Structure 1
């Protein structure tokens, strides 16, 4: 995801799940392939640290893309503790956030059947 409108759509209209190291926003509409964007602010660290965090998150999301429904816009925002978090911890936090978002989405769609 690269366009500001997509980031805004996911953040404003989507569901949110927060963890100490990251916050995930998920919005689902349409039928295109899922897209993911990352937000790593200066609060996380300098440019080298921010890029490292972004690369780690991108790598972790590659294995989890198949969990997202078609039409998904997912924004993963790193919090400052992400800079010093071990990869295993970051992966666990990402899984917890995704589980919460996807479980909420399933329960919301179950009520409309």
Structure 2
């Protein structure tokens, strides 16, 4: 579980990150990242019904939270929204690689290094 200080919670935070940040697409997810003025790094997850039923969506969210935890602790202050695509449920073996490459590319495009 991510600590509360590392979670995006308000709709305005999600909206700002998605509209003003960079977008990185992978087969299983889309990562939106935006530079934040205030530390720490915060992450939010969007898993729609197109991914699957409630059990599948929660499983995908748990996997994504697990993958985000190391990046949250080491990266500079950014806001990140991870939107899972339907392939995230059917291809769980691809999630770690897709997440790591999207996270590092997002930080590169923002001009920050972990």
* Matched residue SS, 1:12: helix
Q: How far apart, CA to CA, are the structure 2 residues paired with 1:33 and 1:67?
A: 10
Which of 1 and 2 has greater Rg? 1
Which runs of no fewer than 5 residues in structure 1 stay unpaired?
108-113
Q: Which position in structure 1 is the counterpart of 2:23?
A: 16
| Distance in 2 separating the partners of 1:38 and 1:2 | 10
Deviation string 1:34-71 (CA, Å, 9 cap, x unpaired) is 1100000000000100000001100111122134312x
* Shift in Å, 1:29: 2.5
State the TM-score, normalized to the length of structure 1: 0.87
Aligned to 2:5: none
Output the CA distance in 1 between the equivalents of 2:92 and 2:19.
30
Q: Name which of 18, 25, 41 aligns with 1:34.
A: 41
Q: Which runs of 4+ in 1 moved over 2 A?
A: none
Secondary structure at the counterpart of residue 58 of structure 1: helix
* Counterpart position of 1:76: 82
Deviations 1:79-104, CA, capped at 9 Å, x for gaps: 000002234x2010001111211111
CA distance in 2, matches of 1:62, 1:23: 17
State how far apart, in whole Å, the 1-side matches of 2:106 and 2:52 are: 27
